[in-house]
Amino acid sequence: MIQIREARSVDEIMLTEELQLDAWGFSEREIAPHSALVASQHSGGLVALAWAEGEAVGFVWGFPAYAGGRIWMHSHQMAVRPDWQGKGVALALKRFQRTWALERSIDTVTWTFDPLLTKNARLNLGKLGAWAGTYYADFYGLRTGLYAGIPADRLLITWELEDERVRERLRHIPPPPPPRGKPLARTSGAGLELRPLDLLEPEANEVYLRVPSDIEALKAADMGLAEAWRLFTREAFSRAFAKGYRAVDLARDDDAVYYQLSKAPDR
């Protein structure tokens, strides 16, 4: 039984430091100190912990963001302890965050994630119904743990809390769809064969961008190839977004994984 609730004390917020070390494998220097989360909670942010069997097994942290006369929540971190991953804890944390935000008249939550972490893409796009349309090359400069070896590129996720697609996914989460049409990249043997990016023709409503299904294993086996994927997908996402596409889902075909890129607004 998993219970989600707002952090009630500084001691509880301190638990997020251990969770960061466990989930990301960051160096001590790269974790967010608990004092930053305390200050954030004190000034309109949300720090929520997931509890199971009397222990904190995950958390989500977001804070108010402001630009162009609009206020929304930017969710900076979410982590689930490795032995509790794959059990729906992240989904429960995000659903709590959505309710919490709506109760405060906040209708949008944003965050960034590494597009080569396909587990996160499945959660963000497929399970939560959010979308991405902005790419940041080497956003953080993080270089340890899960992010070691290749530049820390990020997609900016937008979660429109009242959007029909989001409501739909709250009711029912479909399995990853199969890709349709020819993907923009394929592997041959150990190498990477890229199809020309001019395939992103304006009239195609939907294109599929193949990505490695397990970037961690690929990095362990061949860091150079992992970096080639980073640079290729950086270019592919950037070009697609410049042409008005959005990343809206993660598709699966046997053991291959693809981003579904759809023309906005009829995604």
Ligand X SMILES: CC(C)(COP(=O)(O)OP(=O)(O)OC[C@H]1O[C@@H](n2cnc3c(N)ncnc32)[C@H](O)[C@@H]1OP(=O)(O)O)[C@@H](O)C(=O)NCCC(=O)NCCS
The closest of 95, 114, 90 to 247, measured between CA atoms, is 114
Question: Using CB under 6 A, which of 13, 46, 47, 90 touches ligand X?
Answer: 90
Question: Using CB under 6 A, which of 87, 143, 165, 234 touches ligand X?
Answer: 87
Please, which of residues 221-260 interact with ligand X by CB under 6 A?
A: 257
Question: Using CB under 6 A, which of 14, 52, 74, 85 touches ligand X?
Answer: 85
DSSP 165-219: HHHHHHH--PPPPPP-S-BSEEEETTEEEE--GGG--TT-SEEEEEE-S-HHHHH
- Smallest separation (angstroms) from ligand X to the CB of 88: 5
113 binds ligand X (CB under 6 A): yes
* Nearest residue (CB) to ligand X, 47 versus 257: 257
Both tokens of 131, joined, read 């979308």
Residue located via tokens 């739909």: 168
Quick one: CA dihedral 44, 4, 139, 17, positive or negative?
positive
Q: How far apart are CA 65 and CA 112, in angstroms?
A: 14
13 binds ligand X (CB under 6 A): no
Question: Using CB under 6 A, which of 23, 125, 132, 226 touches ligand X?
Answer: 23
Size of the site for ligand X (CB under 6 A): 23
- Smallest separation (angstroms) from ligand X to the CB of 20: 8
DSSP state of 33: P
Binding site for ligand X (CB under 6 A): 23-24, 77-80, 85-91, 113, 117-120, 122-123, 213-214, 257
